[in-house]
Amino acid sequence: DAGITQSPRHKVTETGTPVTLRCHQTENHRYMYWYRQDPGHGLRLIHYSYGVKDTDKGEVSDGYSVSRSKTEDFLLTLESATSSQTSVYFCAIQGTDYGYTFGSGTRLTVV
């Protein structure tokens, strides 16, 4: 996806371990978002950022934290991974034309 990359693409981790997912953009957009996608639930907002060091919670933020020290990077951390956090995680950036551009996603499995 042009201008936005997520890493890693796949990760398997053990219950109780911390995990950090990275979203990197080259578009210099102000707004960045983290969503999780689960069958039957669609896309649910975890956290979002409206600038460097400016973040806020979404509807499913429990167990997650974020950081944004640079415009281009938005990190999502699972402080102590649980099996309920097994999901596909998508990062999105928002341009001035309102539309979101999503990354390719990170498939996280917590065992």
Partner 1 sequence: GENVEQHPSTLSVQEGDSAVIKCTYSDSASNYFPWYKQELGKGPQLIIDIRSNVGEKKDQRIAVTLNKTAKHFSLHITETQPEDSAVYFCAAGYGGSQGNLIFGKGTKLSVKP
* Interaction site with partner 1 (CB under 8 A): 1, 31, 33, 35, 40-45, 48, 50, 58-59, 90, 94, 98-105
Least gap, CB of 17 to partner 1 (angstroms):
26
Which is nearest to 32 in space by CA: 10, 12, 52?
A: 52
CA 93 remoteness from chain centre: 10
Run of H or E including 33: strand 31-38
Q: Provide, rounded to whole angstroms, the least separation between the CB of residue 15 and partner 1.
A: 26
Question: Which residue's CB is nearer to partner 1, number 1 or number 73?
Answer: 1
